[in-house]
Each structure stands twice: as C-alpha cells, then as structure tokens.
Structure 1
Amino acid sequence: MLEVRDLHAFYGKSHILQGVDISIGAGEVVSLLGRNGVGRSTTVKAIMGEVAPQGTIRFKGRDIAGLPSYRIARAGLGYVPEHRDIFPGLTVRQNLVLGIKDVGKPGKWRLETMLEMFPNLASRADTPAGVLSGGEKQMLTICRTLMGDPELIMIDEPTEGLAPLIVQQVGDLIAKIAAAGVAILLVEQKLSIALRISHRVYVMGHGRIVFEGTPDQLKANAAIRKEWLEV
C-alpha cells in the first residue's frame, strides 16, 4: 500500500533523512521506533508533504512524493501530528465534522459511530475542545482523522506526555482502528504499545533504518535495543 524508497529530507543544510526505506501493506500495523531527533517525525511529514521529500513515495501504486498535503489526504492517507492540532474554540462535535472529506459519500467512520465508541467524547460532544484533557484531545485528533475515512493513518507520538491509564486507552483505540482494517504507521517511543499492536517494526537511527523485523525479533535483539532505543 505504501512504499518509501531512498527517502531524503533536509532542514536547511541539515541532512535529516538519509535514504529511508519502509513499506506498509494493506491492513498492516507498522511502528517506527527510535530516540528523539533521529528523523521519525520528519519521515511522516515528508510522506505527508509537509517537508520537501527527495526519493520515491508510492501510495496504492501512485507516486505522491511532493504533492500538496491536501491531495495526499484525499488519496486516502491520514495523518495525526504529534502536537494534537484541534480547533479549541469549536465543540468536539464540530471538530469531528471538520474531518469529513466528502459529505456526499458516507464513510466507514461516522459521527454517531465515534461518539458510541468513545463515551468520553460523547459526554463532551457540545463542549469546546480547548477544555479537554490531553488524553481526550489526542483521542479527538485521531477520531477527526478517521472521519476522513483513510485507508492508512500515520500517528505521530500519540502517548507523549499522557498518564499511564490514558496511554493504555490510546493504545486500545489504535488497536480498534487496526481491527477495522485500517493500515497504521505508528511513530512511538513506548515499546510496550508498539510491540503489543504491531505486525512489524522499524528502528531508526541517525536518519536511517537500522533494523526491520517482527516485535518478537526486536525483543530477541538486545544489541539493537541497547544501541538505538534504550536510554
């Protein structure tokens, strides 16, 4: 579904991504792991068109490298940024409705479905989104992206700064999305979530992929974990 080959990206003269290769199949959950600053967020931003990419990015067989972000989104690729962009002055319900891409074509994820699945959001449906807790804002951001009916969703650091109980809830939400057949590229630091829900994992270091394998293979590879993941 998504094929990224020899991906490079720059911030000014800084060469951030140095030949990244990743792939995600239909319905597959893949985690991109690594320490802060190695290029994980830049990878998803380059795929989504927020950072100028150099290399090959193909989604459902179509070359999307360098396309505007709105065209990439309309092609079926969803993106949940790490900074939880919501509209604080709009209600939860209004934020969700803004995620719909085609009002004339009912998608898999509807407003009523979202509110049924997530009672926390339902109870605050007519509340300004700016007063939500950090965990509720994260769930709202993910759900708003789902309202656009993506076939693949990239989620960047969804558990950053959240309490352990909320981390578990966000992990359960991601598992529900995967169970519905949506492919997921998860950028995450917490190994517990990534290893629990992923089919495959990539580990990134210094702008390159240094490991690819199953969660069990990563668990068994102490050298990779020590060099590239552990503090």
Structure 2
Amino acid sequence: MLEVRDLHALYGKSHILQGVDLAVDEGEIVSLLGRNGVGRSTACKAIMGLVPPVGQIRFKGRSIAGLRPDQIAHAGIGYVPEDRQVFPSLTVKQNLELGLKRAGVFGRWKFDDVFALFPNLGERRDNPAGVLSGGEQQMLTMCRTLMGDPDLVIIDEPTEGLAPRLVEQVGRLLDEIARRGTAILLVEQKLTIALKISHRLYVMGHGRIVFSGSPAELTANTAIRKEWLEV
C-alpha cells in the first residue's frame, strides 16, 4: 500500500533523513521506533508533503512525492500530528465534522463509533474542544482524522503524556482501526505498546532504518534495543 524508497529530507543544511526505506501493507500496524531526534516525525511529514521529500513515495501504486498535503489526504492518507491540533472554540462534534471529506458523507467511522470507543467525548459532544483535557484533545484529534475514512493513517506519538487509562484506550482504538481495514504507520516511544500491537516494526537511528522485523525478532535482538532504543 505505502512504499517509501531512499527517502531524504533536509531542514536547511541539516540532512535529517538519509535514505529511509519502509513499507506498510493493507490492514497492517507498522511501528516506527527510535530515540527522539532520529527523524521519525520528519519521515511522517515528508510522506504527507509537509516537508519537501527527495526519493520515492508510492501509495496504492501511485507516486505521491511532491504532492500537496491536501492532495495526499484526498488520496487516502490520514495524519495525526504529535501536537494536539483541535479548534478550541468549536464543539467536539463540530471538530469531528471537520474531518469529513464531504459534509454529511460518512465512511467506516460515524459519530456513534467514536463515542462508543471514547465515552468521554460523547458526554462532551456539545462542549467546546478547548475545555477538554490534553488526553481528550489527543483522542479528538485522532478521531477527527478517522472521520475522513483514510485507507492509511499516520499517527505520531499518540500516547505521549497520557495517563495509563487513556493509553489503554489508544491501544484499543488502534486495534479497532486495523480491524476495520485501515492500515497504520505508528510513531511510538513506548516499546511495550509497539511490541504488543504491531505486525512489523522499524527502528530508526541517525536518519536511517537500522532494523526491520517482527515484534518477536526485535524482542530477541538485545543489541539493537540496547544501541538504538534503551536509555
């Protein structure tokens, strides 16, 4: 579904991505791991066209490298950035409606689906998003992206700063997204979560992929974990 080959990206003179290769197949949960600053978020932004990419990015057989972010979104890729970007003066329900590609046209996700997974959002559906807790705003951002019915969703650090109860809810949501046929490229700091829910994992170091394999293979590879993941 998503194929990235020899992807490079620069911020000014800083060469952040130095030939990244990765792929996500239909219905997969694929995690991108690594310490802060190795280029994981930049890889997501390059795929989405938010950072100028150099290299090959193909989605469902079509080259999307160089397209605008809105064109990439309409091609079927959703993006949940690490910073919670809600519209604080709009209600929870209005924020969700903004995720629809066409007003009133729903796909795999409807309001009731979201509210069933996150009852707190349902209870606050008519409240301004700005009064939600940080964790609830993170949930709202993820669910708003799903309302656009993407075939692939890129999610950057969804559990960062969340209470354990909300971390569990995020894990259930990710499982449900994949169950409904949407592939996931997940940037995650918490190794235990990534190992539990992922079909495959990549580890990044210094702007490159230094490991690719299954959760079992990463669990068994003490050297990779020690050098590139553990503090």
**TM-based fold match above 0.5:** yes
Spell out, residue by residue over 1:164-200, the C-alpha distance to the aligned partner (whole angstroms, 9 max, x if none).
2221221121111111111000000101111111000
Q: Which amino acid aligns with 1:116?
A: A
Query: Aligned Cα RMSD in Å?
Result: 0.9
Q: Which amino acid aligns with 1:14?
A: S
In structure 2, the partner of 1:206 is: 206
Counterpart CA distance in 2 for 1:115 and 1:223 is 43
In structure 2, the partner of 1:190 is: 190
In structure 2, the partner of 1:90 is: 90
Counterpart CA distance in 2 for 1:34 and 1:228 is 6
Counterpart CA distance in 2 for 1:114 and 1:164 is 20
Q: Which amino acid aligns with 2:160?
A: E
Shift of 1:104: 6.1
Greater displacement, 11-20 / 154-163: 154-163
Counterpart CA distance in 2 for 1:106 and 1:83 is 26
Spell out, residue by residue over 1:84-120, the C-alpha distance to the aligned partner (whole angstroms, 9 max, x if none).
1110111100000000002364311112322233211
Q: Which amino acid aligns with 2:102?
A: D
CA contact (8 A) 2:202 2:211 kept: yes
In structure 1, the partner of 2:132 is: 132
Q: Which amino acid aligns with 1:65?
A: A
Matches within 5 A, 1:11-90: 11-90=11-90
Shift of 1:147: 0.3
Q: Which runs of no fewer than 5 residues in structure 1 stay unpaired? A: none
In structure 1, the partner of 2:109 is: 109
Counterpart CA distance in 2 for 1:153 and 1:184 is 5
Give 3-state SS (helix, strand or coil) of 2:4's partner.
strand
Q: Which amino acid aligns with 2:38?
A: V
The aligned length equals 231
In structure 2, the partner of 1:216 is: 216
Give 3-state SS (helix, strand or coil) of 1:121's partner.
helix
Shift of 1:79: 0.2
Counterpart CA distance in 2 for 1:194 and 1:125 is 30
Counterpart CA distance in 1 for 2:116 and 2:228 is 40
Distance change (3 Å), C-alpha of 1:3 and 1:88:
same
Counterpart CA distance in 1 for 2:168 and 2:110 is 24
Distance change (3 Å), C-alpha of 1:104 and 1:139:
closer
Q: Which amino acid aligns with 1:225?
A: R
CA contact (8 A) 2:100 2:106 kept: no
Counterpart CA distance in 2 for 1:119 and 1:158 is 18
Q: Give the 4+ runs in structure 1 shifted more than 4 A.
A: none
Give 3-state SS (helix, strand or coil) of 1:43's partner.
helix
In structure 2, the partner of 1:5 is: 5
Spell out, residue by residue over 1:44-63, the C-alpha distance to the aligned partner (whole angstroms, 9 max, x if none).
00000000000000000010
Counterpart CA distance in 2 for 1:64 and 1:71 is 9
Counterpart CA distance in 2 for 1:115 and 1:225 is 37
Counterpart CA distance in 2 for 1:116 and 1:183 is 21
Counterpart CA distance in 2 for 1:192 and 1:126 is 35
Counterpart CA distance in 2 for 1:165 and 1:133 is 13
Task: Say if 2:100 is the partner of 1:100.
Answer: yes
Counterpart CA distance in 2 for 1:97 and 1:72 is 19
